[in-house]
């Protein structure tokens, strides 16, 4: 099932239909061989209704709507321009600006693709004009645009939290614990906060190192009339998005609102921000609604298809086979965790993050959690790992996004080679968090006990 599903995806078949269709075909084949009970498919309607009634998942369309609205309001344009004026005269300053703005966009939109396209259109030509090395410029833009995968509020974290909650419940029920501690979106947001900052610091450190050791690769901007940017302008441009970030993340982490309620606040706040900038007319609002609906529909179609896949996979006893395989690995729980992380990283070369987590987490999540792995730590590790899927060729989506908007002087080889150091930095961050779990578990413990 797994091999056929991956193969069909590589041939370009729609992911949601591939997941569901392959599962149904194997269910029928297994039933004809008396290896599968077709009656199990009768549980699909209740599964679909459960997804539709899941309040946590309501945060997905709201966060998508917020991100699309902010992308249409051209907030990134002003942020990049202002940060470039502030740091441009420093060697490597444009690279610092792109990374910081990428972090701010990640914390306010949670959508990687929009950030890569926006910064590719705005900052990449400026960096090339300033004399930046083409590979470095491409790498900085691509990597910074994917921070939305790990910096909360991230749609990936919302989906992961829901899947881990189900996996955690199954693991504890199998162990005889009928009242397990829940795994919430709030916990995962808090757990991802410090690792997200760690990744940003690694990016900034690499840009600083390159600027010091290879001065020609990251020259400072020439003095211009605009170089006299004042802190007043910086505060004026940055205050609205920072207030929105504070309203969304602050209300979640302070326990004032649930993730879904905060997502609603963010959606309304994004509309207010866009209207205040004069970017919200009837045509723009229509585009925002259509785009957000398409993205949301894609996510939920994959979720429904993955639900069929997981049900049939377990009906064949696949979860027991995987459980025995992971349990027999040397190194116990940590050996199993290493193998799962390696599998996710390899799948990232071919699949999108949504496809990876919907296929892998329901299968291996209960097994790893039953072996004593902390669910928040596991969720953060998976989030960092699937972020690599945006950068790793041949199917890294950020590479495609940047290729589509890059100037003609940029060739595909520049983009592929430019992201190599940043993939290594992400693996370093993954290793650090894996070796020191409190980086992911400390903040949730302090805030929520």
pLDDT-based confidence at residue 225 (cuts at 50, 70, 90): very low
Look at residue 111 in the predicted model and tell me its pLDDT: 61
pLDDT-based confidence at residue 431 (cuts at 50, 70, 90): very high
Determine if residue 317 is left, alpha or beta; phi over 0 gives left, psi from -120 to 50 gives alpha, anything else beta.
Answer: left
pLDDT-based confidence at residue 255 (cuts at 50, 70, 90): confident
Question: pLDDT for 101-152, tens place per residue?
Answer: 888 777 766 666 666 777 777 778 878 887 888 889 888 888 888 887 888 8
CA distance linking residue 119 with residue 121, whole number of Å: 5
Taking a C-beta distance cutoff of 8 angstroms, is the pair 131, 218 a contact? no
- Residue 44: which residues within 8 A CB-CB, separation 6 or more? 307, 308, 311
Of all residues in the chain, the percent with pLDDT exceeding 70 is 93
Lowest-pLDDT range, 258-267, 374-383, 418-427?
258-267
Specify the higher pLDDT residue, 179 or 357. Answer: 357
Of all residues in the chain, the percent with pLDDT exceeding 90 is 14
pLDDT-based confidence at residue 200 (cuts at 50, 70, 90): very high
- Residue 227: which residues within 8 A CB-CB, separation 6 or more? 85, 88, 89, 221
Q: Tell whether the model's pLDDT for residue 10 goes beyond 80.
A: no
Look at residue 25 in the predicted model and tell me its pLDDT: 93
Q: Tell whether the model's pLDDT for residue 387 goes beyond 50.
A: yes
Q: Tell whether the model's pLDDT for residue 232 goes beyond 60.
A: yes
pLDDT-based confidence at residue 392 (cuts at 50, 70, 90): confident
Q: Tell whether the model's pLDDT for residue 229 goes beyond 70.
A: no
What is the average pLDDT value for the chain, to the nearest integer?
A: 82
Specify the higher pLDDT residue, 108 or 430. Answer: 430
Question: pLDDT for 209-219, tens place per residue?
Answer: 998 888 888 88
For the question of whether the overall pTM of this predicted structure is more than 0.85, the answer is no
Q: Tell whether the model's pLDDT for residue 226 goes beyond 60.
A: no
Question: pLDDT for 58-72, tens place per residue?
Answer: 888 888 888 788 777
CA distance linking residue 207 with residue 99, whole number of Å: 9
Q: Tell whether the model's pLDDT for residue 400 goes beyond 90.
A: no
In a 3-state reduction of DSSP, which class is residue 13?
coil
Domain boundaries in the chain?
A: 13-30+58-448
């Amino acid at each position: 099932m797994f091999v056929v599903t991956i193969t069909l995806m590589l041939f370009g078949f729609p992911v949601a239909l591939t997941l569901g269709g392959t599962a149904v075909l194997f269910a029928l084949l297994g039933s004809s061989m008396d290896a599968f009970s077709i009656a199990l498919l009768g549980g699909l309607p209740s599964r679909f209704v459960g997804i539709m009634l899941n309040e946590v998942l309501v945060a997905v369309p709201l966060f998508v709507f917020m991100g699309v609205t902010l992308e249409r309001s051209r907030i990134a344009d002003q942020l990049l321009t202002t940060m470039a004026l502030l740091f441009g005269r420093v060697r490597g300053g444009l690279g610092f600006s792109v990374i910081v703005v990428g972090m701010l966009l990640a914390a306010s939109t949670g959508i990687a693709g929009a950030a890569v396209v926006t910064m590719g259109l705005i900052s990449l030509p400026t960096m090339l004009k300033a004399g930046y090395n083409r590979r470095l410029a491409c790498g900085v833009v691509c990597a910074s645009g994917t921070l939305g995968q790990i910096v909360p509020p991230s749609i990936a974290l919302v989906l992961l939290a829901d899947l881990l909650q189900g996996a955690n419940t199954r693991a504890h029920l199998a162990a005889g614990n009928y009242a397990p501690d829940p795994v919430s979106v709030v916990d995962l947001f808090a757990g991802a906060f410090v690792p997200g900052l760690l990744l940003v610091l690694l990016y900034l450190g690499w840009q600083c190192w390159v600027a010091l050791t290879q001065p020609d690769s990251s020259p400072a901007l020439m003095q211009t009339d605009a170089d006299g940017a004042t802190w007043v302008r910086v505060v004026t441009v940055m205050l609205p998005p920072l207030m929105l970030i504070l309203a969304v993340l602050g209300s979640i982490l302070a326990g004032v609102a649930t993730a879904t309620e905060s997502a609603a606040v963010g959606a309304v706040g994004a509309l207010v921000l866009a209207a205040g900038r004069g970017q919200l007319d009837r045509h723009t609002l229509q585009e925002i609604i259509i785009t957000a609906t398409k993205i949301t529909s894609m996510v939920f179609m994959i979720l429904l298809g993955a639900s069929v896949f997981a049900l049939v996979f377990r009906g064949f006893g696949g979860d027991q086979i995987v459980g025995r395989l992971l349990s027999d690995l040397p190194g116990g729980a940590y050996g199993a965790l290493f193998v799962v992380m390696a599998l996710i990283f390899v799948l990232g070369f071919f699949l999108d993050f949504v496809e990876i987590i919907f296929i892998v987490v329901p299968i291996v999540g209960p097994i790893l959690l039953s072996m004593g792995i902390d669910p928040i730590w596991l969720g953060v590790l998976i989030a960092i790992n699937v972020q690599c899927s945006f950068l790793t060729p041949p199917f890294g989506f950020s590479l495609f996004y940047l290729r589509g908007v890059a100037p003609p002087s940029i060739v595909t080889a520049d983009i592929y080679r430019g992201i190599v150091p940043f993939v290594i930095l992400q693996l370093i961050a993954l290793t650090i968090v894996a070796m020191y779990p409190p980086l992911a578990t400390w903040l949730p413990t302090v805030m929520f006990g």
